[in-house]
Structures are given as structure tokens and as C-alpha cells.
Amino acid sequence: MKAMILKGYGGLEQFAMEEVPTPKPQTGEVLVRIRANGVCYHDVLARQGHFPRTKTPGIIGHEIAGDVAELGAGAGGFKVGDRVALVMKDHCGHCRPCLKGHDNLCQNTGGIFGEEIPGGYAEYISVRAHALVRIPDEVSYEEASVVPCAMGTAYHGLHAIGKVQPGEAVLITGATGGVGIHAVQVARMLGARVIAVTTSAGKTDFLRQHGADEVIVSPDLEFVQEARRLTNGEGVDVIFNIVGQLAWNAALKSMALGARHVFVGNLNAAPVNLRPAHAILKELFFLGTDGVTRGEVETLLELVRLKRISTVVGATMPLADVVKAHASMESRTSLGRIVLTM
């Protein structure tokens, strides 16, 4: 099969298209013919070497959709030709988190696809059957590929972790990216007042078109004054922080009494500073969110089928154009998700 191999950590020159053996499904596994793979900023950070579990040379990518091509021994629940999407992470299915429905927290496997285990920048992938969900007929491969990560991360973080309630003010950093623009839609679906932060004035209309009630343009991410103005000085109820440390100071000062700060990403991997008194006196909550559960992916695919929420695919490119896709991600010129097609 053809695969885009990450030869080592570094720049775009580390990618090379190669012919490699097609994987053979083992017991309990399913071979999937990949049709679409979304490009996450996690992929960019993996290429740059920020995630030491990423195997090199190896195949990255975790936003995968395609067709069942072959069933390994004992792999039930699917048949050849079924259209399927992969959850973001491999999971064992029998540990305590898995049995409690928190399969996104399983520690007994190789973790996220595209790190220790091969990912989706290829024509085929072999995975455990329970890592798959069926794609409704009305949902395209491109749409389905971005549901688990881009949309699922937003849904899990806002609904399960942030526990957003109708009428609350939710501020989203990095709002025009793949996770961010879906977070805008999810927060609106949950009944929140959506305040989207962008560093570019040219992206304001895009954010409003997808459900932002207010847009703060802040190239330096010093948005606290505007966030407080929009909330009559009270601050926001939930911070959905996709960029991490870069927006920490402004986000902290923008929090209302009893607010929740949900950490989704950290683009520069730097730590943050917090005085305990600040959290104590305002009774603030600081929460992490990691991925999405299999059940949530099934729920979201049904919501996409019903058109209650829409995936935002900004561009599609052939697998051979992965360098172009990563360059667009790094330059912050992409809107929504870029999807590679095979």
C-alpha cells in the first residue's frame, strides 16, 4: 500500500511517500480501506517532535474514515463493505475506565492512532473492531473523518467536562481551527452564548456564519477587557482554551465567579502560573479534557445525519499533498478542517 511516512522529527522534509506492506488483520481486528483522514494540529506537533511516543519512521494521523476491507478471526459486528470511522484512540475494552464508559482514558494500549501504533496517512489500517463506529449513509467519509477528533473533542470538553448550561457565556480561543469552529457550534447547540476569539479580523464573518454570538479580534490574545465588556464586567462562565498557555493570562482574568476553565490544547507546550488565592477566592475550576468516547462519536454521527450540527471541512487534498496541508496549518491560513483523501 502507499503511505506517507514520517521519517523523523522536524520540518516538512520529513515526509516521504513510500510503498509499505499492507497490514494483515490479527485476531479481533478489522482491516479498513482508508478514504479520508483529517489533519489535526496534533499531527503538526507530532511531526515537530513534541510527542515522544510518536514512532519514527512511522505513519501519523488519527482522524480516519473508510470501508471494512477484511475481518480478522473473531472480529464481529461488521462485514466487508461497511462504512466506518475510527475513534481517536485504541482501547482495550475491559479495563476500569473502559467498563465505566471512559474508553478515551484507557491506558492499556498504544493510545492515539498515529503515535506508537500506525495511523491514517496511508491506504489501509488494521484496528480492533471496538475502535470502529458505523457511518450513517447520509454522512460522507470526509465529514465522518473529522467527527471523532475535531467535533468530538469539542463535544466531550464542553458537555461532559465543562458541563455547559443554557444561557452561560462560553469563550473559545483558537476558534477558527478544526476543534475551535466545531466548539462554536457545540456550545451554541448546548444553548450557550458563544464568544469566539480569533487573531485575524478577516475570520470574523466565518465565525459568525457558524454560530458565534460575538467575536473578539485579538492578535496578541490580550482579550480580557473585551470579554469583560461583553459580559457587563462579570466575566465568562466557561473558558474553552484550545491554544493553552498563549491565552492563559487573559483567560484567567476573564473568568467569572465559579467559572470553569477547560484545557483542550497547548500549542507551545509551556507551563502556566497560578496563584492559589486567585482560584480560592473566586472558586474557580480548572479542568483537562482528552479525546472523546466511542458512545459520544456515535451520538455525534447521528446528530450530523440529522443536520443538527455540521462538520466544517475547509479543504480536501490528496494524500500526496500532505506537505501543503501541514504548511497551511502552521501558517494559520486554514479555516475548519483539512481532510486528506485516498
Q: What is the reported pLDDT for 333? A: 82
Please indicate, yes or no, whether residues 300 and 256 belong to a single structural domain of this protein: no
**Selection from 164, 185, 203 nearest residue 289 by Cα:** 164
Evaluate whether residue 64 is within a structural domain: yes
Please indicate, yes or no, whether residues 234 and 222 belong to a single structural domain of this protein: yes
Which of helix, strand or coil describes residue 124?
strand
- How does DSSP classify residue 169? E
pLDDT at 47 over 80: yes
Q: Which residues pair with 317 in a beta bridge?
A: 340
Residues 6+ apart with CB under 8 A from 52: none
Q: What is the reported pLDDT for 187? A: 98
Alpha helix stretches (DSSP H) within the chain: 41-48, 96-99, 141-146, 152-155, 178-189, 204-209, 224-230, 248-253, 276-282, 294-305, 322-330
Contact 186, 216 (CB under 8 A): no
Locate cell 457558524: which residue? 210
Residues 6+ apart with CB under 8 A from 100: none
pLDDT at 110 over 80: no
Q: What is the reported pLDDT for 249? A: 95
Which of 251, 266, 288 is a domain's end point?
Answer: 288
Predicted confidence band of residue 331 (pLDDT cuts 50, 70, 90):
confident
Predicted confidence band of residue 267 (pLDDT cuts 50, 70, 90):
confident
Predicted confidence band of residue 21 (pLDDT cuts 50, 70, 90):
very high
Evaluate whether residue 14 is within a structural domain: yes
Which of 256, 271, 288 is a domain's end point?
Answer: 288
**Region 179-196 average pLDDT:** 97
Predicted confidence band of residue 109 (pLDDT cuts 50, 70, 90):
confident
Question: What is this structure's pTM?
Answer: 0.94
pLDDT at 268 over 90: no
Please indicate, yes or no, whether residues 20 and 140 belong to a single structural domain of this protein: yes
Please indicate, yes or no, whether residues 186 and 252 belong to a single structural domain of this protein: yes
Residue 100: what residue type? K
Predicted confidence band of residue 92 (pLDDT cuts 50, 70, 90):
confident
Evaluate whether residue 316 is within a structural domain: yes
Query: What is the distance between the terminal CA atoms of the chain, rounded to a whole angstrom?
Result: 11
**Region 175-180 average pLDDT:** 93
H or E element that contains 288:
strand 285-288
Please indicate, yes or no, whether residues 284 and 298 belong to a single structural domain of this protein: no
pLDDT at 121 over 80: yes
Strands 83-86 and 132-134 come out as antiparallel
Please indicate, yes or no, whether residues 187 and 104 belong to a single structural domain of this protein: no
Evaluate whether residue 48 is within a structural domain: yes
Structurally, the chain folds into a number of domains equal to: 2
Residues 6+ apart with CB under 8 A from 40: 62, 63, 149, 150, 178, 179, 337
Would you call the peptide bond into 23 cis, given omega within 30 degrees of 0 as the criterion? Answer: no
Please indicate, yes or no, whether residues 179 and 308 belong to a single structural domain of this protein: no
Q: For position 213, which CATH number holds?
A: 3.90.180.10
Please indicate, yes or no, whether residues 215 and 260 belong to a single structural domain of this protein: yes
Evaluate whether residue 67 is within a structural domain: yes
* Cα atoms found within 13 Å of the Cα of residue 149, Cβ hemisphere only: 29
Contact 62, 114 (CB under 8 A): yes
Cell of 75: 472480529
Greatest pairwise CA separation for the chain in angstroms: 61
Please indicate, yes or no, whether residues 221 and 316 belong to a single structural domain of this protein: no
Q: What is the reported pLDDT for 270? A: 82
Which regions of 94-235 does DSSP assign to beta strands (E)? Answer: 124-128, 132-134, 169-172, 193-198, 214-217
Evaluate whether residue 93 is within a structural domain: yes
Evaluate whether residue 155 is within a structural domain: no
Of 125 and 270, the structure prediction assigns the larger pLDDT to: 125
Please indicate, yes or no, whether residues 168 and 214 belong to a single structural domain of this protein: yes
Which of 260, 288, 316 is a domain's end point?
Answer: 288
**Region 56-65 average pLDDT:** 97
Evaluate whether residue 158 is within a structural domain: no
Q: What is the reported pLDDT for 266? A: 86
Render pLDDT for 199-254 as a digit per residue (tens, 0 to 9). 999 999 999 999 999 999 999 999 999 999 999 999 999 999 999 999 999 999 99
Please indicate, yes or no, whether residues 178 and 100 belong to a single structural domain of this protein: no
- Chain centroid offset of residue 333 CA: 18
**Region 312-323 average pLDDT:** 96
Q: What is the reported pLDDT for 76? A: 87
State the residue range of the domain holding 224: 163-288
pLDDT above 90 covers what percent of the chain?
A: 90
Please indicate, yes or no, whether residues 81 and 180 belong to a single structural domain of this protein: no
Task: Write the CA distances from 131 to 29, 75, 93, 233, 333, integer angstroms.
Answer: 9, 11, 9, 45, 32
Residues 6+ apart with CB under 8 A from 83: 65, 66, 67, 134, 135, 137, 141, 144
Neighbour-count burial for 4-32, b at 16+ CB within 10 Å, e otherwise: bbbeeeeeeebbeeeeeebbebeebbbbb
Tell me the pLDDT of the chain averaged across its residues: 95
Q: What is the reported pLDDT for 335? A: 85
